[in-house]
Amino acid sequence: MGHSPFKRVFVANRGEIAVRIIRACDKLGIETVTAVSDADRHSMAARLATRAVCVGPASASLSYLNANALVQAAMGSGCEAVHPGYGFLSERSAFSRLCEENGLAFIGPSPESIDAMGDKLMAIRTADAADVPRVPGSDRVTSLEQARADAERIGYPLLFKASAGGGGRGMRLVRSANELEQAMISAAAEAQAAFGDNTLYMEKYIERARHIEIQILADTHGNVVHLGERDCSTQRRHQKLIEEAPSAFISPEARSSMAQAAVRLARCVAYRGAGTVEFVYDEATQEAYFLEMNTRIQVEHPVTEMVTGIDLVAEQICIAAGEPLSFRQEDVHLKGHSIECRINAEDVERNFMPGPGRIQFWDAPQGEGVRVDTHCGPGYLVPPYYDSLLAKLIVHGENRGEAIDRMRESLAAFRVEGVPTTIAFHHDVLSDSDFAEGRVNTRWVEESFLARRQAG
Ligand code: ADP
Ligand code: ADP
Ligand code: MG
């Protein structure tokens, strides 16, 4: 790569991912303009970017979710492309369309691909067309009577899920017919409040499930590759806490069938950029079922970078500039094992309640095989307006055991004062024999680990 893919890129996000995007641009010789809200005027992203432009007040709905303000700022500052990061507007086709209508390259897929995957029911239909099996379930739930009939066919336990859902919201577990009505009402209400859309569907609930997802990259020259899987089974309330690559506990057949399915699906929607196809893996049957596709960079992308040596954010940028992928499928070799812990400003003892405030002391671990992606440092004021992610601590080892040891040492060395954090919680999880031996599914944190802690 002798030349820069773009001269100047606009960062339509905040926090650690804004910093991550700026660093990738620096490496590629690209100038950056980052959006900031009033609350983020003095953020690390604002300091590291070539320039920062205020796009609105602290409230995300008036700043990082304000598509017109972001596009105006990108155009007014002479940017050629927009990186949406994750969350916020990253999966809104209207935003990618608005960028392109204004001559800005959107660093992500086309609006049509986003729409094909945008809501989950649409994604399930798309997957079906690509011959990628979904969890046994229903189409859109239109009435209680119909829900009851579908539930009998699917069988209990089952989940109500919001078609517009994300971040683990809008889901309700139903164990028996007499819970159905109440669960349906509360799932619809939560979906309406969180996403402005109460469309629900049902899925069979997989009791002993692993969350496995496949990272893909696709360019505009017809090349689609996968970069293996991530295991994100360590979750609380359907939200990821710890992610690993590769998964140490799935069958080789399941691994390759998920990877092939992900590539098929990407081809089916003429996908471009980085994307993730998520599956739920039933430990009892070793079957994998399609859950959804995330049409953006993901929080946990660093574990894939650590085992492949590929810079996913740099690849996203080059793809958006029309460059072909710099490698082929056969060039992808996984090396060792990587683990990521999401360090949040939350009080574990008070039900993981977010605890914004001033960071009085901050000393992050360093060393071989240790990476910290963060926008925080000593004196930083964690604002109350956004999510509570402070840092991602990522380690690499020759094998899973070495990665676990390195993570435990790194967590022990990570010192933060002034705000509550999940560092000690992660250290306890990484020290647990269930975790070490892989006896973890998506319910383990709540039903085993936290339950044992409360009892003891
Ligand atoms: P990933 O799928 O990359 O692991 P998450 O599911 O944790 O990521 O979500 C990524 C980010 O986007 C988080 O900051 C989360 O709070 C936010 N997010 C996810 N879904 C939504 C949504 N529907 N609306 C608003 N924010 C969301
Ligand atoms: P979101 O958009 O909120 O990420 P997902 O459909 O990806 O929604 O589901 C989030 C998490 O919920 C999954 O990682 C998994 O742990 C759990 N989950 C979702 N569907 C099922 C299911 N049918 N059976 C068991 N667990 C599920
Ligand atoms: Mg998901």
Q: Whose CA is nearest to atom 12 of ligand 2?
A: 238
Q: Whose CA is nearest to atom 2 of ligand 1?
A: 298
Gap between the Cα atoms of 253 and 263, Å rounded: 16
- The residues lining ligand 1, judged by C-beta closer than 6 Å to any ligand atom, are 86-87, 166-167, 195, 239-240, 294, 298-300, 387
Gap between the Cα atoms of 388 and 409, Å rounded: 23
**Model confidence at 305: pLDDT above 60:** yes
Number of the ligand closest to the Cα of 290: 2
Q: What is the mean pLDDT of residues 246-269?
A: 95
Instruction: Give the position, in ligand 2's atom list, of the atom nearest the Cα of 233.
Output: 16
Which pLDDT score is estimated for 3? 78
Tokens of 167: 């971040």
Which of 13, 16, 86 best tests ligand 1's pocket when mutated (most atoms within 8 Å of CB)?
A: 86
Contact criterion met (CB below 8 Å) for 14 and 370: no
Which pLDDT score is estimated for 243? 98
Expressed in angstroms and rounded, the spacing between residue 267 Cα and the centre of ligand 1 is 25
Expressed in angstroms and rounded, the spacing between residue 167 Cα and the centre of ligand 1 is 5
pLDDT digits (tens, 9 = 90+) for 376-405: 999 999 999 999 999 999 999 999 999 999
Tokens of 415: 């010192």
pLDDT band at 2 (very low <50, low <70, confident <90, very high): low
Which residues sit opposite 244 in a β-bridge? 231, 339
Tell whether the torsion through CA atoms of 295, 297, 298 and 303 is positive or negative.
Answer: positive
Tokens of 247: 């998964």
Expressed in angstroms and rounded, the spacing between residue 341 Cα and the centre of ligand 1 is 16
Averaged pLDDT score across all residues of the chain: 97
Tell me whether strands 361-363 and 239-245 are parallel, antiparallel or unpaired: unpaired
Rg of the chain on CA atoms, in Å: 21
Q: Whose CA is nearest to atom 4 of ligand 1?
A: 299
Task: Give, as residue ranges, everything with CB less than 5 Å from ion ligand 3.
Answer: 278
For 215, phi then psi, to 5°, come to -85, 130
pTM of the model: 0.96
Number of the ligand closest to the Cα of 157: 2
Cite the DSSP H helix spans in 1-143: 15-28, 44-48, 67-76, 93-101, 111-118, 120-129
Rounded to the nearest 10 degrees, the angle between the axes of helix 252-268 and helix 120-129 is 100
Expressed in angstroms and rounded, the spacing between residue 238 Cα and the centre of ligand 3 is 8
**Model confidence at 334: pLDDT above 80:** yes
Which of 299, 303, 386 best tests ligand 1's pocket when mutated (most atoms within 8 Å of CB)?
A: 299
Percent of all residues in the chain with a pLDDT value above 70, rounded to a whole number: 100
Q: Whose CA is nearest to atom 9 of ligand 1?
A: 167
**Model confidence at 1: pLDDT above 60:** no
**Model confidence at 287: pLDDT above 60:** yes
Q: Which of 134, 172, 255, 296 is catalytic?
A: 296
- The residues lining ligand 2, judged by C-beta closer than 6 Å to any ligand atom, are 135, 159, 165-168, 203-206, 209, 211, 235, 238, 278, 280, 291-292, 442
**Model confidence at 168: pLDDT above 90:** no
Expressed in angstroms and rounded, the spacing between residue 211 Cα and the centre of ligand 1 is 16
Q: What is the mean pLDDT of residues 305-326?
A: 98
**Residue 20 bears catalytic tag:** no
pLDDT digits (tens, 9 = 90+) for 23-68: 999 999 999 999 999 999 999 999 999 999 999 999 999 999 999 9
pLDDT digits (tens, 9 = 90+) for 213-251: 999 999 999 999 999 999 999 999 999 999 999 999 999
pLDDT digits (tens, 9 = 90+) for 195-208: 999 999 999 999 99
Tokens of 339: 């683990």
Expressed in angstroms and rounded, the spacing between residue 167 Cα and the centre of ligand 2 is 9
pLDDT band at 81 (very low <50, low <70, confident <90, very high): very high
